[in-house]
Chains A and B, each alone.
Chain A
Amino acid sequence: MSDITMPNVAAIERSRHGSSIGQPVTRREGHLKVTGQAGYAADYNPPGLLHAVMAVSGISRGRVTHLDVAAAEAHPGVVKVMTPANAPKLAKSPDDKDHGFMFRMNVLQNDSVRFANQPIAVVIAETLEAATEGVALLRPRYAEEPARIGLDGSAAFALQAVGAGAPAKGGIGDIEAGLAEAATRFEATYETPAQYHNPLEPHATVAEWDGDKLVLHTPSQGLTMAQGRIAGLFGIDPANILIKSPFLGGGFGAKGLFSGPQVLGIMAARFVGRPVKLVLRREQMFGPVGHRGETRQTLRLGADSTGGLTALEHNTLTTTSFYDDFFEPAGTTSRHLYASPAIATSHEGVRADIGTPIFMRAPGEAPGSAALECAIDELAVKAGMDPLDFRLRNYAEIEPITGKPFSSKALRQCYAQGAARFGWASRPRAPRQMRDDDGLLVGWGVGTATFPAMIFPSEARAVLRVDGSARVEIGAQDMGQGAWTSLAQIAADGLGVDYDKLDLEIGSSALPTGGIAGGSAGTATAGSAIHHAAADVIKKLAALATSDERSPLFGAGNSGVVPRDGRLVRQDDESRGESYASILARAGLAEIDGKGSAGPNPSMQESYAMHSHGAVFAEVKVDPDFGQIRVTRLVGAFAAGRIINPRMVRSQYYGGMIWGVGFALHEHAAADPRSGRLMNANLAEYHVPVNADVPLIEAILVEEHDPHVNVLGLKGVGEIGITGTVGAIANAVWHATGVRARAFPITLDTLLERPGDI
């Protein structure tokens, strides 16, 4: 979008020569962000703006029988109250699903309550304060029914598909036979709690209608999908919808699928005929915009006398809502990670009176690898092996269930480099062997990290201008991970121009579809389309030059020239070339553009298993009297193909590993089993790690060449950091204390169960 001007990067970064890819350039938008100039959705204040605040349900199940709309509307500043009685009817029921990737919403189409914190009305006022007070004055009354909460709140049922459509069951071989022949057997059940994404920026909309045209400022990880969803619900042409989303204050999956509250913001603007801003309060992030469902995972494993797995069974029970289907695919990790002649994974669902879960950073892999990495560790100990040796003993040279080769897999190097950096070799095998100078228990643990390498369909447009500058347009989204920067690096190299001369446009639905910033596939998705668009431009430019006898490139043929620093040069003699400016000027062109697209490559997917891998090593200290745990050291070594920007990638790994600390020790949505209400729906009580929880963290970028995964050879880095880390920490807690905690988060009272003698 031309309304965002990126400042120049530091001079030192401009002095670089050659490739932009691989350079640790700082964030292009960093200066805008630290000076408060990066406009997030809720920063936009068009003339005539009204403020909307949602009223949300205090019960988990039942019906709203009364709202004191008169009291709210009598409050000074309140313009109107939108309720199921007067809300605009949508063109399509929000409960209709065209496909499995569409989720039901609660947008005031009836008076039913399906979960706590469900929107039940929207108050629209001249000020935020007036709207907030209007909500308080509604004093809802309910016909309440008993809430069904948790993994035991209703009957479990079989599933066909989990996550984004993966089969609920998958395996190979005969588990019972594998277990029967095992020298060592192990079985345990692990539980992970409901977790809520909580990006720092809550969901927000500023909606402006002009007839049937909508301009919407809102954070989105998938602009084209959002456009399609809105178009369906409101019965308008997607082309009439402009969504602006240049910056997101985090998404983590919560902003991947368009959510009910965002729809309510649009409805409110239509309802009052004025621009309306709706920003979720923090506590409203706990319910209507998705979460990670609870899991109970039971693993049965067997190993032969040499430590080789003979059986790996991974069964998952997970919660979803009573009105829609999303199932945390926790067992899928066990299909890819370790070699075993017998693997069986299955999932069952259980319904609860909660908002529908959704993709949350490393969906499936995060809780799944937490359980798997603990179970593998427990089996290794039982088999009398070092946990790292045990993992190496069961290294999967091919993808276990499919038998496909990996497109690349440098996991062995990850183990080696991580272990060396961490000092793993000096680890005593038995628990409770290490103390620090203060007498605190010290433990070391390891976990394997894994995440699939994906790509989504996308398109891009690239332009070279006669003045030597360039422009690339794609409706990609920067959630904070650094897309503004890394996509510009890819574009600069593709076009053969200096990074500084490249103008990138992302974050608007008016641009070519940029796919999804999700599944750790954002860079592969948008980057590949950009790469092809750039190649298209270069091809057209080459055609101009090589067919023009006035050009030094005349006769070289399209495939015989390559872009270099604003010039096309002969591949066989780089001293012979011509600048883009000269080629365009002679052709009388101000600019030349090209298009490119990218997406999954079925033949590659058929031929190769494609995953990022890593190894995470954790040190924890535990107070022996209090059970308070602190992670004191984390070393992660990750291989994810080509690294576009090591600074951004390292930052992604750090973020994932810190998330892993929170998963292991802190995050937990605490539902009162009587009401189903979440009692810690705020950031004071819903704990995530603070700086003091993460004293020392290192991420090693392990070299990996992947000629198959996509045109750029890159895999995703956004989610893998969580995987491995959770298990490494839990295993380190065991190593420190001798206590196996099998429910997350691991809290101090779990460790205090050992009887004391005070």
Chain B
Amino acid sequence: MRPFAYDRPTTIADAVASGAQPETAFLGGGTNLLDLMKGNISRPARLVDVTRLPGLSTIEWLQDGGVRIGALVRNSDLAHDPRFANRFPSVAEALLSGASAQLRNAATAAGNVLQRTRCQYFYDAASVCNKRDPGTGCGAIGGLTRLHAVLGWSEHCIATHPSDFCVPLVALDAVVEIEGRAGRRDVPLEALHRLPGNTPERETVLEPGDVITAIRLPAEAAAYAGNARYLKVRERTSYAFAVVSAGAALRLDQGTIVSARLALGGVALKPWRARAAEDLLAGALPGATVFRDAAALALAEARPCGDNGFKIELARRIIVRALTLAAAGTPDRVPALPASPFALAPTQEVSAHV
């Protein structure tokens, strides 16, 4: 590994100052960054270990009913917090469907949000990659593209964002609290990650030195608790990234959808909020037809970037199922195989695509 300086600030101001230096990376749980460093993909000159910053490891309940998740709260601690899981069950389910127990024990909330893509060409130092080495080209285009993006990609980058956690978060209007050189600011999670465009190396709107201190869920998000699910299709039963995933949440009143929240994972370089589909669902009676229409709308702009056309149809089906499950009600307990098709009881007559 490249030798690096190691800072361990004890105040956020110091962390911001330290992190604003060139070629610097923040170190949280290290579950992604250290692998990237060992693989010579990330070569920071300085690591700023933020894990000793005070006050960032708590789950704080706000007076208005919202919640503030400290940046350093471990994925496992958050998922297993009974009050959190009760209010935001699809977020807990998404967390528990990700990675392995060991990784969840180490990974932090902010680190999850800021994890890098799993694009194999990004990880392969011998391949070109505009994200890793701007201007060298996209190694994935024309190569193995089965799992790449179907929404929001550009000719410069077709990678996807791998987080499960972010999918229901973005559906539920999560806000990211940031401390930077210009002080504190809030950014909606939906606006944090950037689509690749011409600058895939710019992954987020964060500026040098910016420290994510918390992720906030508004009180309104808890209103979906009774009808919120996360569903993740993957290539083995556990410990795999999503081929496609969906977070669906409904507010129902006397059987009618008052409002809907829907986001997709594994389809774009950011967690993909499907607002047009949400609008279509609002005011409708839950049912297969409207769910299919919503799914079609959510994928209206989708196009394959290679051998991944199947993901578009798969995403539609996952949306329909996730909405169906959400409409049926959140189960009392997170299933033993969280977010897995094998843990769920499809409540509609099951179709026959396969």
Contacts and interface: CB of A to CB of B under 8 A. Distances in A.
A28 interface: no
A434 interface: no
Interface stretch (B18-26, B209-217, B234-242): B234-242
A679 B320 contact: no
Contact of A757 (B38, B350, B351): B351
Nearest to A747: B235
A624 B350 contact: yes
Interface residues of A, number: 55
Given A672-B143, A679-B120, A752-B314, A757 B353 contact: yes
Contacts of A670: 120, 144
B346 A439 contact: yes
B242 to A, nearest CB: 11
B354 A739 contact: yes
A147 to B, nearest CB: 12
Contact of A623 (B2, B292, B316, B342): B342
Contact of A679 (B39, B144, B317, B354): B144
Contacts of A691: 238
B3 interface: yes
Interface of A: 58-59, 76, 116, 129, 132-133, 136, 283, 435, 437-441, 621-628, 630, 665-666, 670, 672-675, 677, 679-680, 682, 684-685, 687, 689-693, 737, 739, 747-749, 751-752, 754-758
B88 interface: no
Contacts of B234: 628
Contacts of B346: 438-439
Contacts of A666: 235-236
Interface of A is mostly: loop
Contacts of B350: 435, 439-440, 624-625
A623 B142 contact: no
6 contacts: A133-B1, A625-B341, A625-B353, A626-B318, A627-B354, A672-B127
A626 B317 contact: yes
A441 B353 CA distance: 11
Contacts of B120: 670, 679-680, 685
Given A628-B234, A687-B235, A689-B236, A623 B345 contact: no
A22 to B, nearest CB: 36
A628 B341 contact: yes
B143 A679 contact: yes
Name which of B118, B121, B243 has the most chain A CB atoms within 10 A of its CB.
B243
A679 B121 contact: yes
Contacts of B142: 674
Interface in B304-354: 310, 313-314, 316-318, 320-321, 337, 341-342, 344-346, 349-354
Contacts of B345: 437-439
A675 B1 CA distance: 26
Nearest to B293: A758
Contacts of A749: 146, 310, 314
A625 B317 contact: yes
Interface of B is mostly: loop
B237 A756 contact: no
B264 interface: no
A679 B38 CA distance: 17
Given A672-B143, A672-B144, A756 B353 contact: yes
A690 B237 contact: yes
A758 B354 contact: no
A600 B321 CA distance: 60
A430 to B, nearest CB: 15
A748 B317 contact: no
Contacts of B349: 439
A689 B237 CA distance: 8
A671 B295 CA distance: 33
Given A440-B342, A625-B317, A687 B351 contact: no
Given A133-B1, A675-B127, A680-B120, A748 B236 contact: no
Given A624-B352, A690-B236, A132 B1 contact: yes
A71 to B, nearest CB: 12
A684 B314 CA distance: 23
A186 to B, nearest CB: 23
Nearest to B147: A685
Contact of B313 (A283, A621, A739, A758): A758
Given A623-B354, A685-B120, A692-B238, A748 B1 contact: no
Identify the 10 closest CB pairs spanning chains A and B, nearest first: A58-B126, A439-B350, A756-B353, A692-B238, A692-B237, A679-B120, A623-B341, A749-B310, A625-B317, A438-B345
B183 to A, nearest CB: 38
A737 B344 CA distance: 19
Interface in B122-145: 123-127, 142-144
B112 to A, nearest CB: 16
Contact of B317 (A665, A690, A737, A756): A756
Contacts of A630: 237, 342
Nearest to B319: A758
Nearest to A631: B237
B40 interface: yes
A665 B1 contact: no
B354 A752 contact: yes
Given A626-B341, A675-B127, A690 B353 contact: no
B136 to A, nearest CB: 13
B236 A665 contact: yes
Given A626-B318, A687-B240, A758-B317, A751 B342 contact: no
Nearest to A432: B352
A645 B313 CA distance: 51
Contacts of B314: 626-627, 748-749, 752
Interface string B92-135: 00000000000000000000000000101101111100000000
Nearest to A632: B342
B91 interface: no
Contact of B316 (A132, A684, A687, A758): A758
Contacts of A437: 345
Contacts of A626: 233, 314, 317-318, 321, 341, 354
Contacts of B296: 758
Nearest to B318: A626
Nearest to A753: B310
Contact of B233 (A136, A689, A748): A748
A674 B351 CA distance: 39
Contacts of A675: 126-127, 143
Interface string B153-180: 0000000000000000000000000000
Nearest to B353: A756
A299 B310 CA distance: 29
Given A628-B342, A757-B353, 19 more contacts: A129-B1, A129-B3, A438-B346, A441-B354, A623-B342, A625-B351, A627-B353, A630-B342, A675-B127, A677-B127, A682-B123, A687-B236, A690-B238, A752-B314, A752-B353, A758-B296, A758-B316, A758-B320, A758-B351
Contacts of A755: 353
A685 B350 CA distance: 31
A503 to B, nearest CB: 38
B323 to A, nearest CB: 12
B31 to A, nearest CB: 11
Contacts of B318: 625-626
Contacts of A758: 292, 295-296, 313, 316-317, 320, 351, 353
Nearest to B39: A283
Interface in B206-248: 233-240, 243
Name which of A58, A435, A666, A672 has the most chain B CB atoms within 10 A of its CB.
A672
A294 to B, nearest CB: 15
Contacts of A757: 351, 353
Given A625-B351, A693-B238, A752 B2 contact: no
B3 A133 contact: yes
Contacts of A685: 118, 120
A756 B292 CA distance: 12
Contacts of B233: 623, 626, 628, 748
